[in-house]
Amino acid sequence: MRGDAASLVLYSGPLSMFGAKVQIAMLEKGLDFELVMVPFDMTLLYHPKHPEVLRINPKQQVPVLVHGDLELFDSTQIFEYLEDLQARPALWPADLADKARARLLEHSADEVYFPPVIRLMGLQDQLQAAPAVAACEACAAYYRSMDVLLEGRDWLAGSYSFADIALYMAQLFGARMGAPMGQGTPRLLAWRERMSARPASRQVAGAMGRYLLSQDRVLPEFLAVLVKQDAH
């Protein structure tokens, strides 16, 4: 039976940026849910595929959210459902125009900023080559635009929102892949510190950092600091 009384189950992966977005949002809303980490290997990646992910998502990817007889995939669609499911605390701004801007920023983090990061994932042994340099420049340009946006505000869309969650997790991967933020974007760096201080972000990003360390991967400096702080 669908509804508030039904159990919430989130299928994600230890290095799923999109799954981590949803997990942070669910923690921010104080929802009680079961987290299922699907099989993942640094070499084989998501193989073998989890049978529930295969059954529910035609793209065969996490995140997948199950709530009673409702089955959803795609992090943005899940965001929308979570907001309807539990309105408080709100993760979209109340003002109509601000809400539209927040939705655009959430989409932009996924579809404008993240594609160059994906390109960098396949260029880790060629970071000095022209394609990698171009991808890093695209990320740097995006950082500059977000730094301008943050003038006079703490959060991307005015109030803390899904837009902040989306960019926080996306930039974590950008930093890992060779496109870190620089000192030329001080407002954005301060925003990331505010994000890292939020308990939900710390829990999810910290778990990801610990997984990376277990696989002998080097952490971005900000994530290494977060993991070290959590260890004390």
Distance CA 143, CA 113 (A): 9
pLDDT along the chain (232 residues), means of 10: 69 96 98 95 87 95 97 96 96 96 97 98 95 98 98 97 98 97 97 98 97 95 92 69
Other Cβ atoms closer than 10 A to 30: 10
Distance CA 91, CA 78 (A): 12
Q: Which pTM does this prediction carry?
A: 0.94
Structure tokens at 222: 């900000």
Task: List 67's β-bridge partners, or say none.
Answer: 8, 70
Buried b (16+ CB within 10 A) or exposed e, 177-189: bbbbbeeebebbb
pLDDT reported for residue 232: 64
pLDDT reported for residue 5: 59
Residues near 1 by Cβ (< 8 Å), separated by ≥ 6?
68, 69
Q: What is the pLDDT of residues 100-116, one digit of tens each?
A: 999 999 999 999 999 99
So what's the architecture of 8-85 in CATH? 3-Layer(aba) Sandwich (3.40)
Could you state, in order of their start, the residue ranges of all structural domains in the chain? Answer: 8-85, 96-230
pLDDT reported for residue 42: 85
Residues near 40 by Cβ (< 8 Å), separated by ≥ 6?
13, 14, 15, 46
Tell me whether domains 8-85 and 96-230 share a fold: no
- To the question of domain 96-230 being in CATH 3.40.190.10, the answer is no
Angle CA 101–102–103, to nearest 5: 90
pLDDT reported for residue 1: 33
